[in-house]
Structure 1
C-alpha cells in the first residue's frame, strides 16, 4: 500500500547463493598484459584472489546478520520501492539526521557510524550529541531494487527523501551526503531550505567555479589536478551517462564483472596507497558486491548518471546559493576538491574541516573522523 512502512530484513535465498558460487567457479577469465597491474583497470591477480575467497570462504549469512542488527524498512515513494535503515536513539532529545550514499555504494557504507551517532554515550560521547539516523538506499541501488521507470534523477530523489522524513515524523532534520548523496542532499536544501537544519557534505558538486571566473594560483593548480584526474577516471561516467543499458548485461550475468567494476573504483578512490585491503576488508568489499549481485542492481544503479545528465543535475552546479548552514569534511583523497572561497560562493559554509586521512568513502574508511566532525557541526547549529 502506498505510504505504508513495513519492517524488512536482508535474506538471500540459498538458490541465489548456489548459483553465484557456480558462476564464480566457471568464470571465463580475460588475458592481461604481463606486469600491467592496475594500470589498465582491475588487476587480474588481485581479482582472482578475491574471487577465490568469495567462492570458498566468504560468509554471506554472517554479513546478513550484521546488516539485520539495525532496524530496516521498506516503503513506496513516488511509485518506487525504497529500502532504508531507521535507527532511533535511546536519548529522547536526539536530532534527526539523514545519511545518503552514492555510487558504487549502499547504506552499508554507514554501518560503522550508526552506533556512535545514535548512542554516543556507549562510545565515549555525550548524550547531547545523539541522532536519530535514517539511511536509505537510493532508488535502483541494493534493497531498493531496480527502478521501473525513467526520471529518477537527484532532484526527484531529493523530493522523495523529504517525503520519507516527513512520513517518519521528522519535519526538520540535518543531512549528510557523499558522492550522489551530496548532490541529493544539496537538492533537498534547495527544494525545502526551511526543513534542513544543516547540510554536511564530503563531496561538493563537481565543477564549482568562482562567480567572477578568476582563479587564484592555488585554485588554478587544484583545477589542473582535477582535470588530470578526470582524464584518467571519467570513463565510467561517460559510459553510465550515455549507454548504461549496454553495461548492465555484463553486470547482471557475471559476478566477476560486477566485482571488477566495483573493486577497481574502491581501490582508486580510497586512501589506501594502492592496497585496498588496508582500509576495507575482503568481507566488507564482498558484502557490498554481493548486495549489488543479489539484488540485480549493478545496471540500475548506473542509470542514475543517465538520469542526472538528462535532467542536467550533478554534472554542473545549478544557479543560486544554498543558504542552509553547510559543513564540508575534506578527506585528502576525495575526488575533485575545491577551495573554501569558491565553495562559499555557492554554499553557506560555516565549517570547513581538513581531515588527516581518508578518501571518497569517509564513513567506511574513517568512521571516527566523520562522526567527530558531524558531532561538532551539529552541536554548533
Structure 2
C-alpha cells in the first residue's frame, strides 16, 4: 500500500480549457431539445460554467480529504480510498461504483457511515480501467477476484460486506457467488436485466412485464451499452480527445434515467456531475471504462458458465427512477432477505439521496 494524492497539473487544466473553447459545435435540429440526445443548448450552458465557474482545485482537495492508496494486485495497480469507522466495532464494507461514475459516487456517504456508533470501515476502490487505477479492462468476475485479494491479502479482513449498483452490481454479485465463505452480506440497487436467454415458462407475470419494459428501454435508451459492448474503441478516440464530447456522452446517460430538469440532481448536483466527468478526463480512462462492457459481453456470450445463485444474505432497494424489477427476479440470483422500494432517487442514489441511502445501508447491515 502506497499513499496516493490526486494532483493534476496546470498544463492538463489549461489544455482542457483550450479544448472546450475550441469546440466545433455541430448544431441541432430545431425544436429537438433532448429527443436526439444531449441538448446543445444545455451543453453550451454547462461547459461555459465548466471553464468559468467550476473550481477543480476545490474538488481535488475534497477528493484528497480522505486517505487514498494504491497497491499492485496481479500486476494491476489498484487505487482505493480506505476510511476506518470511528465506532467501536465497525463493519468492513466494500463499495463498488459503476459507469459512468467513479469512486467519487460515494463521497457524500463517507462521513455518514464512518461517524457515530454503528459505523463501517469503508473500502472504495476504482475499478481497473476507471479513474486512478490502471488503464486495463477486465470482466466483472475478474474484478471480483481482484477485490478478494485487496480485502483479504492487502487489508487483512477474513470476512466483509459489499454493496454496489450498475457495473458494481455485477462485481458484488460475483463476489457473493464465488466467495460465499468470505462474504457476510451484500446489498444492491439493481440486480441485472432479462437478456432474452430466459425460459418464459419459468417467469411470473411480473417478470414478463419487467422483461417487456427492459426490451423497450434498450431500444429507446440502450445505445450506449450496445456501442460499449461491440465497438468501444471506435467511440474512445472521440471521447478521449474532446471534453465536450465526453460530457455529452455521460450526460446523455443521465438523461436516460432522469428528465432534463433533474439531470444535475441525478448526479448529486452540477459540480458533482463535472467532477465525475473530470476524473475520466484527467485520467484518460473513458476508453478502458467502456471496454469493460466488451469484456463482460465476451464472458457472457463466449461460453462461460453463469454464476450460481448465492446463499449470502442480500438486501435490495428499488429506486423510483430505475427499472422496477419484482422481488422474484432478484431471487433468481441472490438470497433476498430484505426488499424495499424507496420513494425518491435514481441511478446514483449515494450522490442524490446520501442520507436516505446511508440509513438503508446501516439498517440492512446492522440488522443481521
> Which TM bucket (shorter chain)?
over 0.9
TM-score, reference length from structure 1: 0.91
1:134 aligns with 2:123: yes
Aligned counterpart for 2:172 among listed residues 163, 176, 185: 185
Alignment partner of 1:23 out of 11, 14, 19? 19
1:212 positional shift:
7.2
1:206 has 2:202 as partner: no
Change (3 A) 1:236 1:291: same
Could you say which residue in structure 1 is the equivalent of 2:228? 240
- How big is the shift at 1:172? 0.5
For residues 1-381 of structure 1, what are the structure 2 equivalents within 5 Å? 5-119=1-115, 121=116, 127=117, 129-147=118-136, 152-166=138-152, 167-207=154-194, 213-270=201-258, 274-279=261-266, 280-312=268-300, 318-335=306-323, 337-381=324-368
SS in 2 for 1:349: strand
| C-alpha distance in structure 2 between counterparts of 1:44 and 1:145, whole Å | 33
Whether contact under 8 Å (1:155, 1:313) holds in the other structure is no
Q: Distance in 2 between matches of 1:185 and 1:96?
A: 14
Structure 1 range deviating more: 275-284 or 183-192: 275-284
Question: What is the rounded CA distance, in whole Å, between the counterparts of 1:369 and 1:331 in structure 2?
Answer: 11
How far apart are the structure 2 equivalents of 1:313 and 1:116? Answer: 40
Corresponding pairs, count? 365
Aligned 8 A contact 1:82 1:138 in 2: yes
RMSD: 2.0
Structure 1 stretches lacking a partner, 5+ long:
122-126
How big is the shift at 1:170? 1.3
Q: Is the 8 A contact 1:267 1:274 kept in 2?
A: no
Q: Distance in 1 between matches of 2:13 and 2:307?
A: 47
Q: Retained in 1: the 8 A contact 2:318–2:325? A: no
Q: Which segment drifts farther, 340-349 or 131-140?
A: 340-349
TM-score, normalising length: structure 2: 0.94
Where does the alignment leave 5 or more consecutive residues of structure 2 unmatched? none
Alignment correspondent of 1:124? none
1:372 and 1:313, CA in 2 relative to 1: closer, same or farther beyond 3 A?
A: farther
**Aligned mates of 1:64, 1:274 — CA distance in 2:** 27
CA contact (8 A) 2:194 2:214 kept: no
Distance 1:292 1:317 in 2: 32
State the shift of 1:210 in Å.
7.6
